[in-house]
Structure 1
Amino acid sequence: MTAEPPEPSAHPVPAERLRASDDDREAVVERLRDAAAEGRIDFDELDARLEQALTSKTYAELAELTADLPRPATPADRPPLVLKGGMSGASVGPGRWEVPGRVIAHGGVGGVKVDFSRVECRLAEVTVEAYGETSGVTVVIPDGWAADTSGMDPGVGGLKDKTTPDRLPGTPLVKLTGSGGMAGVIIRHPDRRERRKLRSNPPRG
């Protein structure tokens, strides 16, 4: 006679009693160091909390160490970045910049360029709301990023999607919405000139 496998427990472990990982502990350590740099806790208290963080076993123990600290802002919490082409145009990038969860680009008379080629972004998705208007909007995403343009109205100027679907793990999906307007919207990877600049001055880690 074979033994029956044990039935799953009728009383699962509460979330706060689950075991914390090294990454969980490291995240709390970074948050505590930021709090000390902001003057929220003094350095003696920082040392004590760091020691506790590194020896904490559960989520509850870690949560206790940051319970009196404000919740840190995440990229998704940041207000939208709004770019208006105006008469002389507007752009962001190709240097490093803080990517919010949503970018709104109005091409206006001068046009707008949104260049993600040198950014570091941990968001799963970034929405770019683009309106081509008179002079258009160009969006540049790094190789390995992918775009979803299904929510875009091409308008009169149309939509040109020159990206590849080969998305690498850990990279954001750029969701393109809005309207092409009169001049249209382009989303692409870096062109030859931009690639030469990237090779001669690669992004630093």
Structure 2
Amino acid sequence: MTSLPEDPPSLISEHDRDTAVQRLQEAYSEGHISHEELDERLHQALTSKTHSELVSVLDSLPEEVAGTTSTIAAAGGRIQRRGTWRVPRILKVESAFGRVRLDLSRAVIEHPVVDIELQLGTGKAKITVPRDAIVDVEELHTGWKDTLYKTRRRSRPGGPRIRISGTMGFGRLKIRHARR
């Protein structure tokens, strides 16, 4: 009797690897793993080739909290959030045309890293971040105008990291730090 060949182990993609690295960094920043354990697990994640190897790297981490993604969408008009509001871990903002204004200066930010994904057609967007925030716009793709943002010279440690990604068609994104 001949045995059937086993399925080859499924290989991981760069996206899978990047997601694992992000989860490890978040677990470290939330105090779930030590610096030494982070280094060891990052090495394992970056050298993993199969899903089973990657799963073992993430095995003992706490589960990701459900409901940490919110989407704000409008075909046109204005999207605005200001004052005291709870910022989700991942905020998706979608608008075909119109203005977007997000003010995070007095918002409740419970996560050390907040991802804001913009999918905007036309119109401008303005985001005000907390004074001590660290802003990353490397993954934002603009079609027409460049993003207006000056990094702060002096920022206090401990502020949230705001990562802004996505695409903007015709319009400009202006990011500024709150004065207070």
Please tell me the TM-score bracket, short chain as reference: 0.5 to 0.7
Q: How far 1:159 moved relative to its partner?
A: 1.5
Match of 1:149 in 2: 137
After superposition, residues 98-113 of structure 1 pair within 5 angstroms as 98-113=86-101
- Whole-angstrom CA distance in 2 between matches of 1:87 and 1:141: 24
Match of 2:76 in 1: 87
Match of 2:59 in 1: none
Amino acid in structure 1 at the alignment position of 2:166: G
Count residues with an aligned counterpart.
118
Q: 1:143 and 1:159, CA in 2 relative to 1: closer, same or farther beyond 3 A?
A: same
- Whole-angstrom CA distance in 1 between matches of 2:169 and 2:175: 15
Larger Rg: 1
Q: 1:102 and 1:166, CA in 2 relative to 1: closer, same or farther beyond 3 A?
A: farther
- Whole-angstrom CA distance in 1 between matches of 2:166 and 2:101: 15
Match of 2:102 in 1: 114
Q: Which has the higher contact order (CA 8 A, sep 6+)?
A: 2
Deviations 1:110-165 (A, max 9, x none): 21111101023231100011133211221110211110111111221321223425
- Whole-angstrom CA distance in 2 between matches of 1:111 and 1:174: 20
Give TM-score, length-normalised by structure 2: 0.57
Q: How far 1:88 moved relative to its partner?
A: 2.2
- Whole-angstrom CA distance in 2 between matches of 1:146 and 1:85: 28
- Whole-angstrom CA distance in 2 between matches of 1:79 and 1:122: 10
- Whole-angstrom CA distance in 2 between matches of 1:86 and 1:109: 6
Indicate whether 1:131 and 2:130 are aligned. no
Partners of 1:158 and 1:181 within 8 A in 2? no
After superposition, residues 176-191 of structure 1 pair within 5 angstroms as 176-190=164-178
- Whole-angstrom CA distance in 2 between matches of 1:182 and 1:112: 13
For structure 2, the 5+ residue unaligned runs are 1-62
Give TM-score, length-normalised by structure 1: 0.51
Amino acid in structure 2 at the alignment position of 1:91: Q
Q: How far 1:81 moved relative to its partner?
A: 2.3
Partners of 1:83 and 1:91 within 8 A in 2? no
- Whole-angstrom CA distance in 1 between matches of 2:153 and 2:75: 33
- Whole-angstrom CA distance in 1 between matches of 2:110 and 2:84: 14
Match of 1:62 in 2: none
Amino acid in structure 2 at the alignment position of 1:172: P
Partners of 1:106 and 1:131 within 8 A in 2? yes
Partners of 2:122 and 2:168 within 8 A in 1? no
For structure 1, the 5+ residue unaligned runs are 1-72, 199-205
Deviations 1:81-133 (A, max 9, x none): 2223433211111x111111111122432211111010232311000111332
Deviations 1:19-52 (A, max 9, x none): xxxxxxxxxxxxxxxxxxxxxxxxxxxxxxxxxx
